[in-house]
A and B are shown apart, each in its own frame.
Chain A
Amino acid sequence: MFLAWKEIKYSKTRFALIIGVVVLVSYLVFFLTGLAYGLAQENRTSIDKWEATGIVLADESNLNINMSMFPKELVDEVDASETASLGVTSSVVQLVEDSEDDDDSKVNVTFFGVNEDEFIFPEILEGESLQNDNEVIADISLKEEEGYELNDELSLAGIDTTVTIVGFTDNAKFNVAPVLYTDQSTYQHIRASGFGERDDEIISAVVVQTDSGELEGVDLGTDDLEIFEIDEFISNLPGYNAQVLTFGFMIGFLVLIAAMIVGIFIYVLTLQKTSILGVMKAQGISSGYIGKSVVGQTLLLTLFGVLTGLGLTLITGLLLPNEVPYMNNILFFAGITTLLIVVALMGAFFSVRTVVKIDPIEAIS
């Protein structure tokens, strides 16, 4: 470490530049991870909120909840510790006072039709619970990003109905759109508008919670329904898997490339020093000592660079506007930090191999 540190102090500019590169590259990796994670979460927070074990959909729906419809009575057939009926439909809402021609004020939302006595009913952060028809509990993002307030009246696209916001809840996004929770009868009204009047009340899914956390033993009682693990349901949300895979691979390759850049820098630095290192070896300084110093230097550079990059990312995360789907995840950040450092150290070991190979006779003659 003595040599490593003294050299960094001596060639300040050179090492500042290298650390700069590490900082920028790791900043990029961390920030992209935060964005990707945030976006992935916006697909699923409303589902994670349930802490459910599984979800029952219509057999024909191919795991697409928008295509899953069955009569409400079938809920009673499902035999599990906790069940909750859920109606899902997407819609477009707008403040009543805004002009219908003003497209900027329209917001894509998802309506969840729920029963207050069932476990998927949201906790209320602000305002109160549903009392009457045509009342909704909205995701807090509608307040933070759109400026909606309690008691605001919203008109729905394609149907002559208005709903009133009576409460706000948090972490309620489904497929990147905020969720509006409403009671079953309002939901039936909104949903039916697309299909014409129906006699049966139609729901989309039954959310299931079991004591064991396993789906085994849950009896559906009918062939028209099928039960899925909640994770399977999430990864089959439209676009979710594609997004997660794309970002995952981008970030993975970025980490590899970033770490290789650091490794290459260290390697070039070592090559530049070949003659000095040769003289040191001629004096009897062991390859082991020199190698340790190379590895120590890499560790110093990457540790400092990566942690600065992480710090910058956290600061940026605080300063970002609410619209940006950015979210910190300690586990991912710790993993990437470790991965960057480990791969950079692997690069450093290549340099150590060069050190071992240096022939002191060539260096001194």
Chain B
Amino acid sequence: MKLIELKQVTKTFNDGRKKIEALKQTNFSVEEGEFVAVIGPSGSGKSTFLTIIGGLQTPTEGQVYINEEKFSELEEKKRAKKRFDEIGFILQASNLIPFLTVKDQLRLVNKINRSNFDKNNAKALLDELKINELSDKFPSDLSGGERQRAAIARALYHDPSVILADEPTASLDTDRAFEVVEILGRETKKKKKATIMVTHDERLTDYCDTVYVMKDGVLSKK
């Protein structure tokens, strides 16, 4: 099943009188349980690509489907709702909220959903990521690797179908970086997610099923 699908998507910006094609026409899909890496130098359009999939901006032409539903054409509020339900984000400097403990980061999801905190699910997830003993700690008390593992827990907690990771290893040393990517790969398979990881570090792609290269707005399989 294709959890992410882009059909003839382009994105152009106007920079004064010049038109910049940040993303040239792209057809792209990610299957359930597939771990995809997109590599490329900075400014190549990787981030634009990821933010279009995440619905943070809309494509100039073409459509984005998430979980087989038209996503890019939804109005902004509905897109935000779907983003919250279907997409887990993992960002460069971690997407954790500084004044919430690791456990409360997960609990926030329940508060927004108006659902009850799923204690067992949270514990199982934190155990799996080996951060259960850190569940009452604030992000500032965690190391870089622990923070990213907490961010992965947060992204997986509400069981989205898609995981988008934007340079999740940027602030980590090599060992930690490999560890985080390995966890991402493992969870993608186990929980049947479609995961896209954007990175500039080619060594990390060993755990990925498919590797794409982005260059000057053109996406091609490696």
Contacts and interface: CB of A to CB of B under 8 A. Distances in A.
Interface string A330-365: 000000000000000000000000000000110011
B51 A361 contact: yes
B89 A283 contact: yes
A283 B99 contact: no
B66 to A, nearest CB: 12
Given A6-B100, A10-B138, A364-B166, A279 B56 contact: no
B146 interface: no
Contact of B99 (A10, A282, A286): A10
Given A279-B91, A289-B112, A361-B57, A11 B80 contact: no
Contacts of B166: 364
Contact of A283 (B57, B77, B95, B104): B95
A286 B95 contact: no
Nearest to A1: B111
B183 interface: no
A283 B111 contact: no
B47 interface: yes
B82 interface: yes
A194 interface: no
A281 interface: yes
Contacts of A360: 56
A282 B95 contact: yes
Contacts of B84: 283-286
Interface residues of B, number: 28
Interface in A8-27: 9-11
A284 B81 CA distance: 6
A2 B117 CA distance: 13
A264 interface: no
Interface string B64-98: 00000000000001001111110101011001011
Contacts of B107: 2
Given A284-B80, A284-B84, A360-B56, A365 B47 contact: yes
B168 to A, nearest CB: 12
A280 interface: yes
A2 to B, nearest CB: 4
A280 B97 contact: yes
Contact of B56 (A7, A282, A286): A282
Nearest to B91: A364
B100 A361 contact: no
Interface in A174-218: none
B87 A7 contact: no
B99 A11 contact: yes
Contacts of B91: 279, 282, 364
B177 interface: no
A6 B102 CA distance: 12
A280 B89 CA distance: 10
Q: Is chain A's binding surface mostly helix, strand, loop or mixed?
A: helix
A276 interface: yes
Nearest to A288: B77
Interface string A19-47: 00000000000000000000000000000
B108 interface: yes
Contacts of A96: none
A270 to B, nearest CB: 14
B145 interface: no
Contacts of A279: 89, 91, 95, 97
Given A6-B100, A361-B57, A284 B87 contact: yes
Interface string A283-310: 1111001000000000000000000000
A3 interface: yes
Contacts of A364: 51, 56, 89, 91-92, 95, 166
A286 B107 CA distance: 16
B51 A286 contact: no
Contact of A6 (B81, B82, B87, B104): B104
Contact of B111 (A2, A11, A284, A286): A2
A364 B100 CA distance: 19
Contact of A276 (B54, B77, B89, B98): B98
A285 B112 contact: yes
A3 B95 contact: no
A7 B166 CA distance: 27
Contacts of B108: 2-3
Contact of B83 (A9, A10, A283, A361): A283
27 contacts: A2-B107, A2-B108, A2-B111, A3-B97, A3-B100, A10-B99, A10-B100, A10-B138, A279-B89, A279-B91, A279-B97, A281-B80, A282-B56, A282-B95, A283-B87, A283-B89, A284-B83, A284-B84, A284-B85, A286-B77, A286-B81, A286-B84, A361-B57, A364-B51, A364-B56, A364-B89, A364-B95
Interface of B: 47, 51, 54, 56-57, 77, 80-85, 87, 89, 91-92, 95, 97-100, 104, 107-108, 111-112, 138, 166
Going nearest first, the 10 A-B pairs with the smallest beta carbon separation are: A284-B84, A284-B83, A10-B99, A2-B111, A7-B99, A279-B95, A284-B80, A361-B56, A283-B89, A360-B56
